[in-house]
Structure formats: C-alpha cells, structure tokens
Amino acid sequence: MSFDLVLGQDRAIAVLRSALVSGRLAPAYLFSGPPGVGKRFTAVQLVKALNCERGGADACDTCSACRMVDREAFPDLYLPTRGERKIGKGSGDGTEGSLSLGEILRRLHFAPVMGRWKVVLIDPAEALTAEAGNMLLKTLEEPPQKTMFLLTAVVQHSILPTIRSRCQALRFTPLPPEVVRRYLEGRSVQGQLAESISRACRGSIEVAEDMIREGVMDQKALILDYLLSLFESPLGARVDDTNRMLGSLAESERQAVDRVHAILAILVRDLLWAASDAGTEDLVFVARSRDLVRLASRLGVRRVLDVASAAAGVGHGLRHNENPRHILLHLGNRLAALGAALPAVARSTHARS
Ligand SMILES: [Zn+2]
C-alpha cells in the first residue's frame, strides 16, 4: 500500500518488494539519484514495511508503528545528527532523541526496542565525515542482527568505495513529466501551470514544490516555456500551444501578445548573452540558464539575430493591429524554421515525443 505512494520509481520499488516477500533483504541499501525524486520517502516506506504491526511485504499506514515511522519518531529508526552539516562519529547535539552515529552504532547491538528491525537512515550519506565513514564501515562488515542501513546519495560514486561495495545500490531516476503533472493535479495545481512546472522541474518533486512556493512559474515562465517550445514543435503542436497559452492568460489576446513580445525581447537578450560565453549569472531567466545556454550554443549568434528579427516582426504586427493569433502563428513558424535548421542534440527538455 504505502509503496504505491512512491511515484515513478517502479524498478527500485520492485526490487524492494521482492526482497521483502522473499525475506532476502540486504543489510544495507544505497539509494542514489537527483534530489527530490523520492529517495527519503521510499526509505521511510521501507522502514514501515519492515516494522508494520500487520506484517506482510508492505505497510498498512495505520498501525502505531507505521504512524510513528511517518513522524520519524519510531524508537528503532535512527537518524544520525548532522552537526555543522556533517555526520561525525562523536558528540551529537545533545538534544533528546538525536544521537551521534557513534552512539547509534553502539545501540545496534541491543534488540529492537519496539519493532522487528533497527534501521539507520543516513540521508544524505555524502554528509558522513571520513572518520564516521570508517566507523560505519566496521559495522557494515559485521552487521548486528536485524539491522538495516539505508543510505542516500545524489551520486553513487560520492560514497567511499568500501562502503558502496557493502550496499545494494538502487538508482532513483528523475520523474517523467506526466508523473509530476499527475502529482501536481492531485495538489490542485491545474492546466498549463501544472504542465509548465512538470516540464521545467527536471523530474524533481522538490523543485516543483519550490516553484509553486516561490511563484516562479508565473505568467513569465509560462510564456518563456511557450516560446522555447516553438523552436521544436510541429505545426499542430504550435497551434495547440498558442491556443492553450492564450487561454490561460487572464487578459485579452492583444494584451497577451504584448506580454509575449516583452518576454521575447528578454529571451533574445539572454540568448545573445549566453551565445557570447559571458557567463550565466547575469541572465534574466537564470533559473533556465541550462536550457538557454544549450539553445544559444545551437543557434549561434547569427541565428539569435534571426530570433531578434522575428521579435521585431511581432512588434510590427502589434503596431499595425494585426490579428493576435496570426502574429503568434507567424512567430511560431519563424522560430520553428530556425529550430529545424539546428544541429540535433541528444536530448532536450523541450523535445516532444
Ligand atoms: Zn502498519
């Protein structure tokens, strides 16, 4: 049940489920993958499954063990203190309930207090000091009975090879956009906003949550996404995107095209800046610097000037009261023609399948 709540990590979950069913659990797991894709959440679900009062290969989510684990207040779940952002071997911060790794490792030799398994969750394992790592390694070489270590890391190879070799490694991958979108819709984030965030968050729920919290995906970001998509979309998708974008802005179509024109001018400036290798800190859309640098390097300065000329065309159309949809369609055709002439890249966040 609770494993069903883990989004988009089917392979890792399948491995854990089958280990739980067969009882062939590794003494240590290393969950690696980018931030915000469910490593810690999965670790918590595993701790519940190991200790759920109802037994079985998944957690019930309702018994007192499950609920205590969810609150990270289960006596057999150990979370080493992170003094000064590092997990050291000695002296915890002294507050009740938080223990240093050294103290935790000593306690593992006793029977579980309440559950069936003692679990040490080290999140992130990159925070282990060398000294703490060595101490952990000694315990991993001869793990006490009914003890499991769960380590998380962004990159597997950031963990000492000696520790890594004692863990079963499971990779966590960025979430597909449609999975993020469904998650956002479950949180009442709808329509184009959910679509834009799910495409821009690089597969991370954490980044998506930040975008909502900080309101970074306001209309500006929505328009920027629309513009970037024009470089790569076939005609049908361009028309659909244009209709969706116009429909989602709460203003007249003419005002919407005014805004597109303004954002396009900033985009041209950013692309020129990125194409000139001047560094990315000064980009207006600095949050999208990776996409912009990639696009600018494919375009080159000469084609960025063609984008500027397309932007001038939008200004001309607005001044001459042309139909707003026609203006955008014309813009889309010009940007798509530029995009079609570009060298292919292995993968782009704006490619449509
Ligand atoms: Zn339970």
Torsion-angle region of 80 (φ positive above 0: left; ψ -120 to 50: alpha; else: beta): beta
Tell me the C-alpha distance between 238 and 240, whole Å: 5
Per-residue pLDDT of the chain (353 residues; tens, 9 = 90+): 789 999 999 999 999 999 999 999 999 999 999 889 999 999 999 999 999 999 888 999 999 999 999 998 999 999 987 654 466 655 444 444 578 899 999 999 999 999 999 999 999 999 898 899 999 999 999 999 999 999 999 999 889 999 999 999 999 999 998 999 999 998 888 776 787 778 767 789 987 887 777 555 567 788 888 999 999 888 888 898 898 888 877 668 888 888 888 788 878 988 988 888 777 766 777 778 889 999 999 999 899 999 999 999 999 999 999 999 999 999 999 999 998 888 766 444 454 43
Tell me the C-alpha distance between 8 and 203, whole Å: 10
Distance (Å) from CA 5 to ligand 1 centroid? 15
Distance (Å) from CA 49 to ligand 1 centroid? 7
Q: Which of 164, 210, 213 is nearest to 35 (CA)?
A: 210
What stretch of H or E contains 151? strand 147-153
pLDDT at 93: 43
Tokens of 329: 């369609």
Which SS3 state, helix, strand or coil, does residue 290 take? helix
From residue 211, how far is each of 34, 198, 203 by CA, in Å?
17, 10, 13
Distance (Å) from CA 77 to ligand 1 centroid? 15
pLDDT at 348: 47
Q: Which residue has the tokens 């970074």?
A: 216
Distance (Å) from CA 150 to ligand 1 centroid? 19
Task: Return the biggest CA–CA distance within the chain.
Answer: 81
Distance (Å) from CA 23 to ligand 1 centroid? 18
Distance (Å) from CA 180 to ligand 1 centroid? 27
pLDDT at 86: 60
Going by their DSSP bridges, the two strands 77-78 and 28-32 should be labelled as unpaired
Q: Does 3.60.15.10 match the CATH number of domain 2-171?
A: no
Distance (Å) from CA 52 to ligand 1 centroid? 4
Distance (Å) from CA 55 to ligand 1 centroid? 7
What stretch of H or E contains 78? strand 77-78
- Lateral strand order in the sheet of 118-122: 77-78, 118-122, 147-153, 28-32, 168-171
Residues whose Cβ atom is located within 5 A of ion ligand 1:
52, 59-60, 63, 66
Tell me the C-alpha distance between 130 and 218, whole Å: 44
Q: Which of 273, 263, 269, 271 is nearest to 314 (CA)?
A: 263
From residue 257, how far is each of 137, 235, 250, 327 by CA, in Å?
61, 19, 12, 8
Distance (Å) from CA 69 to ligand 1 centroid? 9
Distance (Å) from CA 9 to ligand 1 centroid? 22
- In angstroms, how far is CA 316 from the centroid of its own chain? 40
User: How many helices and strands (H and E) does the chain possess?
Assistant: 14, 5
| Angle 252-267-272 from CA coordinates, rounded to 5° | 155
Distance (Å) from CA 45 to ligand 1 centroid? 10
pLDDT at 172: 97
Distance (Å) from CA 53 to ligand 1 centroid? 5
Domain ranges for the chain: 2-171, 176-217, 224-353
Q: Which of 163, 285, 208, 157 is nearest to 35 (CA)?
A: 208
Distance (Å) from CA 63 to ligand 1 centroid? 4
pLDDT at 78: 94
Tokens of 222: 């929505």
- Please, what sign has the CA dihedral across residues 12, 136, 101, 78? positive
Distance (Å) from CA 123 to ligand 1 centroid? 23
From residue 143, how far is each of 26, 137, 255 by CA, in Å?
11, 10, 66
**Could you tell me if 125 and 151 are in contact, meaning their C-beta atoms sit under 8 angstroms apart?**
yes
Tell me the C-alpha distance between 103 and 98, whole Å: 10
Tell me the C-alpha distance between 284 and 265, whole Å: 11
pLDDT at 209: 86
Tokens of 111: 């029977």
pTM score: 0.62
